[in-house]
Amino acid sequence: MTYTELALLGVGLTVLLDLVVLRTRLLLRRAFWVAYAIIVFFQLLTNGVLTGFEIVRYSGDAIIGSDSPTFLGDGRIAYAPVEDLLFGFALVVQTLVWWVWWGRRGVQFRPLAGPPVWRGARGSSGQAAFGGQETP
């Protein structure tokens, strides 16, 4: 599979995961798209530096455009191949989708503040070996 095919597959599976499988429906929220616009700006900035200065190079056989990076056009936006934007979208959406899904299931139902509590590592006084707090 080419980079383009993998990127499209990643986006498709991510959309299905959000809307059908886990039903978090983040892609239907305005707040998501506002936050994502900020993320895309910085993704383009970072990716533009890496591909514009040719620190990272892509084979023209694997992407929509050619080997030589252009700022806009030839399958690129701010030097970044369109496929990088697709993979970035899938990465960000899946991170948020899983976060929301686990949060709804109470994976971390009570946020913990302060130094970490090391369960199972007790000193002789019954306190945590690291941090000095009682474990609940």
* Residue 88 located in a structural domain: yes
Distance CA 93, CA 90 (A): 5
**Which is higher by pLDDT, 93 or 120?**
93
Domain interval for residue 76: 3-104
3-state helix, strand, coil in the chain (%, to 5): 50, 5, 45
The answer, yes or no, to whether residue 113 has pLDDT greater than 50, is yes
Do residues 44 and 76 lie in contact, with contact meaning Cβ atoms separated by under 8 Å? no
The answer, yes or no, to whether residue 36 has pLDDT greater than 60, is yes
DSSP conformation class of 20: I
The answer, yes or no, to whether residue 67 has pLDDT greater than 90, is no
In this structure, what token pair is assigned to residue 13? 């599976």
In the chain, the amino acid numbered 55 is I
Counting the structural domains of the chain, the total is 1
User: Tokens 């993979």 correspond to what residue?
Assistant: 87
The answer, yes or no, to whether residue 132 has pLDDT greater than 60, is no
Cα 73 to Cα 5, 57, 93, distances in angstroms: 19, 16, 26
Determine the pLDDT at residue 129.
46
Determine the pLDDT at residue 128.
46
In the chain, the amino acid numbered 114 is G
Determine the pLDDT at residue 13.
98
Percentage, residues of the chain above pLDDT 70: 81
The answer, yes or no, to whether residue 58 has pLDDT greater than 90, is no
